[in-house]
Structure formats: C-alpha cells, structure tokens
Amino acid sequence: MTTNATEAGANYGFHFDQTLCTGCKACQVACKDKHDLPIGVNWRRVVEYTGGSWQTSGHTFTPNVFSYYVSISCNHCENPVCTQVCPTTAMTRRPDGTVYVDDEKCVGCRYCEWACPYSAPQFNAETGHMTKCDLCYDYRETGQDPACVSACPSRALDWGPIEELRAKYGSTNDVAPLPDPRITEPHLVVTPHRDATRWDAGAGRITNPKEI
C-alpha cells in the first residue's frame, strides 16, 4: 500500500535540520548513485560555513569559533527564476509544485544555472543538457522518500508540502550562506544551528567552495 506523493498543488519542499548535519554527504552520494550522476554534477551539495577567531597569550590559546553545514538541492521555489530565464520552456513547474527540466526541450544554454542562486540546475557535459533534482519523482510516485532523505544518517532531512513543513518546523530559510530567500521564495525550511546567522550577516565564510 503506497501513497502517490505527486499530488497537484502540494508544493513539495525540503526541511533541513542544521543542528544535526555533520557534513558527511551521504545525501549527495545517495543522490548520485540513484541518478547516475557523473563527477562534477551534484544535485545535492553540502556547504561548510565557518567563522570566528583565536586569542593567543604566551603559549596558550582561546578559540571563538563556529561551524555548521547546509545541505542544499533544488528548493522547488515558489518563484523559480530558472523557469523564467529558460528560452525553450524546458524548465517548468509540475502541478505538484516541483521544478523539473524536460530533457528533450533543453538545449544546454545554461541560463538557468546562471540565474539560480542555489546552483541547482547543473550541466551534464555527457548529455549536453541541464539536469536537476526532481525530488525523486519516481520514488514519490511509488510511495518512497527521496533518496537523500532516507540516506541521512542523522535524520537531518525531511520533505513534504511546504506549508506542512512550515507548520511543523517553522519558516526559517534565510541563514548564511544561503542567498536572500526573497529572490526565489524557496520551498525550504531550516532548523538553524545555534551559531547560525542571517544570510547577510557575513559572520563566516564558505570553507569548501570547490566541493560545491
């Protein structure tokens, strides 16, 4: 008995619990395994955000340091700029609110990649087309969780209709180093780490830019 979780109007999105994520990237690799993604294409990525300073005195030292992670994929935004800039209408929203790319229409111009503040659409050099997270549409059709969600050893990911997620977890979606959520209105809610700051606070920096 399975539930088909591709209901029209559901507006599915993700919840990410920053207080639990250890940056192990099981989510990223489970996604890669399921979708056969090549090196360089990661529909889900994990950003490390770190900041702080040290005081030293003689041979002693005292830290004031913080660090936390953000696991991020496509946020299936309310206002997906990728669909707006796509010249071929390949990038569209499904009735259930998830954003997907029609491989047959995509010409690989990469405008969507340029426009998305989360770098969600990604170019697959092997196919010449854009690719992106579809919130595991096939799994949802057969009542399964998205691969990343069921992969997380720390249970830091959840998903569902965004209004339900907001009711359950709150509506925070503006922690650094995420972009200003007003740009695309992401279907994402974050339970912030104790040291999380707002997107524009500039308290730390992304330490693993080459991994994302």
Partner 1 sequence: MTIVADVGLDQERTGTSRRSFLKWSAAAGGTAALVPAVANLGMPEVRAEGATGMAEADRTVWNACLANCQSRCPLRLQVKDGIVVRVLPDSTGSDEMGDFNIRACVRGRAQRERIYSPNRIKRPMKRVGERGGGQWQEISWEEAFDTIASEMKRVKDTYGNEALWYHYGSGSTGGNITKRGTWPRLLNTYGGYLGQFGDYSTAQITAAFPYTYGEWISSNSLEDAQRSQLQVMFGNNPLETRMSGGGELAVVQKVRKDFQVRTIVIDPRYSDTAAIAGDDWVPIRPGTDAALIAGMIHVMVEEGLHDQAFLDKYCVGFDEATLPEGAPANSSYRAYLAGKGTDGIEKTPEWAAEITGVPAARIRKLAREIAAAKPAAITQGWGPQRHATGENSARAIFLLAAVTGNIGIPGGGNGAREGNTTLPVKAFPLFDGEAPPVKTQISCFNWIDAINDGPSMTATKDGVRGKEKLDVGIKLMVVNASNTLINQHNDIHVTQETLRDDSKCEFIVVIDHQWTATCDWGDIVLPSTTNFEEIDLIPGASCGDMGWAIYGDKAIEPVFESKTGYEMCTEIARRLGIEKEFTQGRTQEQWRDWLFEQTREKIPEFPTKEQLAEMGVFRKHSPTGPRVAMKDFRDDPVANPLKTPSGKIEIYSQLLHEMSQKWEFPGERSGDRLTALPEHVDSWEGALEARKSEYPLQCIAHHYKGRTHSSYANLPTMNEAHPQMLWINPVDARARGIENDDEILVRNARGTVKTVARVTPRIAPGVVSLPQGAWYRPNSKGVDEGGCVNTLMKYHPSPLAKGNPGHTALVEVEKVN
Q: Which stretch binds partner 1 (CB under 8 A): 84-92, 98-106, 127-135, 143-151?
A: 143-151
3-state secondary structure 161-196: EHHHHHHHHCCCCCECCCCCCCCCCCCEEEECCCCC
Among 181, 188, 189, 192, binds partner 1 (CB under 8 A): 181
Among 161, 172, 188, 196, binds partner 1 (CB under 8 A): 161
Q: Is 82 in the site for partner 1 (CB under 8 A)?
A: no
Among 14, 16, 25, 98, binds partner 1 (CB under 8 A): 25
Among 14, 16, 21, 76, binds partner 1 (CB under 8 A): 21
Q: Is 66 in the site for partner 1 (CB under 8 A)?
A: yes
CB of 69 to partner 1, least distance (A): 8
Q: Is 143 in the site for partner 1 (CB under 8 A)?
A: yes
Cβ closest to partner 1, residue 45 vs residue 90 = 45
